[in-house]
Amino acid sequence: MKVNNVILQFTTKIVFFIIFFFAVHIFFAGHYTPGGGFVGGLVTASAIVLLLVAFDLKTVRSLLPINYIYMVAIGLLIALGTAAIAMFLDEPFFTHFFDYFYLPLFGKTSLHTAALFDFGVYLVVVGVTMTIIQTIGEDE
């Protein structure tokens, strides 16, 4: 039976971007205010779950052709690589570096390698959550 839920799908098309940009904000605000990679990853995963509920598995697969298991692996590699940079510079494992840079649009900005580690955490959280939900969702 073909169903017609126009209101849910139209609302999803707008609300998905609001939730996703809010997740990006939480991710980048994690250094000075509450937030960080874990919460940002979970909110991103909930935005994709909203797409899954409003549409279906096949549509979302063609919309976001991502293999979430590779996403977990890439996230772990980024986290390990960020921790291992210090070892090649004669510093202990997991030493982080930061400095102030003058970027063209943002002005004086402090860039920290902890953000790269947080990005690895973000990828792992999104990948694990979406793998669990898609694996449970597709068995019948």
Partner 1 sequence: MKEMILMLALALFMVAIFLNLYRVIVGPSMPDRAIALDTIGVNLISAIAIVSIVLTTKAFLEAILILGILAFIGTIAFSKYIERGTIIERNRNN
Selected from 13, 17, 33, 112, the binder of partner 1 by CB under 8 A is 33
Nearer to partner 1, 55 or 83 (CB): 55
Selected from 37, 41, 43, 78, the binder of partner 1 by CB under 8 A is 43
Length of the chain: 140
Nearer to partner 1, 46 or 113 (CB): 46
- Identify the bridge partners of residue 99 per DSSP, sorted by sequence position: 111
Selected from 66, 76, 86, 133, the binder of partner 1 by CB under 8 A is 133
In angstroms, the CA 90 to CA 70 distance is 31
How is residue 40 written in tokens? 């940002």
Asked if 130 interacts with partner 1 (CB under 8 A), we say no
- Identify the bridge partners of residue 119 per DSSP, sorted by sequence position: none
**How many CB atoms within 10 Å of residue 87?**
12
Amino acid found at 12: T
CA distances (Å), origin 86, targets 27, 90, 93: 23, 7, 6
The 52-91 contact track toward partner 1, x by CB under 8 A, reads xxxxxxxx--------------------------------
Residues that bind partner 1 (CB under 8 A): 2-3, 8, 15, 19, 22, 26, 29, 33-35, 39, 43, 46, 49-50, 52-59, 133, 137-138, 140
